[in-house]
């Protein structure tokens, strides 16, 4: 009457360690410099584990990126959940953009890699799409739909500039812009929409 499972894994949690190591290598060397061997070395597991736990390189990267998307989505949502009113929500959005806690340099690098990779791998592309929807949903806790779209574009685009610009982001400018979008778009959808 014992279950089908005869033996527990020798090293539970190893799969997760490999996924973490994958993101580490991708952040350091880019997808184009990521190999099974480097990941194995980073995770301190034998090479054979790569094919044992994952069905090839695409599968490995797909799962690693899914993990990244999940982590980021959760942070995103939490920051907006913690806001009590619209004013605090605006501040949260500014924080997301300025990246004190949200998108560190490492994470930004990973996001770039994921974007690029997603364009050539439908499975990752769909993960990306879900992430997008989740972000919008989080913003939706405080703002109307059309404002969410505009804000999310800012949250996406501005940190990217931060990544290639020497000058640090001007927090006051970001705050002013967010405020302009929120109040400027008003409560109603723009002309031409239902």
Partner DNA sequence: ACCAAGTGTGTACGCTTGTACAACCTTCGT
Partner DNA sequence: ACGAAGGTTGTACAAGCGTACACACTTGGT
Per CB under 8 A, does 184 bind its own copies? Answer: yes
**Which of its own copies, DNA, none binds 74 (CB below 5-8 Å, type-dependent)?**
none
| Chain residues 80-119 in contact with its own copies, contact rule CB under 8 A | 109, 112-113, 115-119
The rounded distance, in Å, linking the Cα atoms of 95 and 83 is 12
CB 130 within 8 A of CB 69: yes
Q: Residues 93, 137, 151, CA angle at the centre, nearest 5°?
A: 35
Residue (of 140, 145, 152, 153) closest to 86 by Cα position = 140
Q: Smallest distance, Å, CB 118 to its own copies?
A: 7
Nearer Cβ to its own copies (141/173):
173
Among 41, 81, 176, 187, binds its own copies (CB under 8 A): 176
Number of shown-chain residues binding its own copies (CB under 8 A):
52
Best CA proximity match to 113, nearest among 193, 175, 22, 177 = 22
Contact 147, 182 (CB under 8 A): yes
Print the binding letters for residues 52-71 with DNA: x by CB under 7 A, - otherwise: x---xx--------------
Q: Which does 52 bind (CB under 5 to 8 A by kind): DNA, its own copies, none?
A: DNA
Q: Which does 45 bind (CB under 5 to 8 A by kind): DNA, its own copies, none?
A: DNA
Distance from C-alpha of 160 to C-alpha of 170, rounded to nearest angstrom: 14
Distances (CA, A) of 11 to 49, 51, 53, 142, 174: 11, 16, 12, 43, 47
Among 23, 24, 27, 36, binds DNA (CB under 7 A): 36
Please name the residues in contact with 155: beta carbons below 8 A apart, sequence gap of 6 or more: 93, 96, 97, 135
Q: Which residues contact 42 (CB under 8 A, 6 or more apart)?
A: 21, 24, 25
Among positions 19, 23, 34, 117, the unique one binding DNA when judged by CB under 7 A: 34
Question: Interface residues with its own copies (CB under 8 A)?
Answer: 29-33, 109, 112-113, 115-120, 125, 128-129, 132, 146, 149-150, 152-158, 160-161, 163-166, 170-173, 175-177, 179-181, 183-185, 189-193
**Contacts with DNA, residue ranges (CB under 7 A):** 2, 6-12, 14, 34-38, 45-52, 56-57
């Amino acid at each position: 009457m014992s279950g089908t499972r005869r033996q527990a894994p020798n090293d539970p949690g190893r799969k997760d360690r490999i996924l973490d190591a994958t993101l580490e290598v991708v952040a350091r060397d880019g997808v184009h410099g990521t190999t099974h061997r480097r990941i194995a070395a980073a995770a301190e597991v034998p090479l054979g584990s790569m094919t044992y736990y994952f069905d090839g390189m695409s599968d490995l990267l797909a799962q690693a990126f899914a993990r990244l998307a999940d982590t980021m989505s959760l942070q995103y949502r939490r920051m907006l959940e913690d806001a009590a009113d619209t004013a605090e929500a605006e501040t949260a959005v500014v924080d997301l953009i300025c990246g004190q806690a949200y998108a560190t340099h490492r994470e930004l690098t990973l996001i770039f890699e994921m974007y690029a990779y997603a364009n050539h791998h439908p499975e990752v592309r769909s993960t990306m799409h879900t992430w997008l929807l989740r972000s919008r949903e989080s913003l939706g806790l405080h703002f109307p739909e059309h404002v969410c779209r505009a804000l999310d574009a800012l949250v996406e685009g501005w940190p990217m500039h931060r990544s290639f610009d020497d000058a640090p982001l001007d927090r006051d400018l970001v705050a002013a812009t967010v405020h302009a979008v929120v109040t400027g778009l008003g409560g109603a959808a723009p002309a031409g929409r239902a």
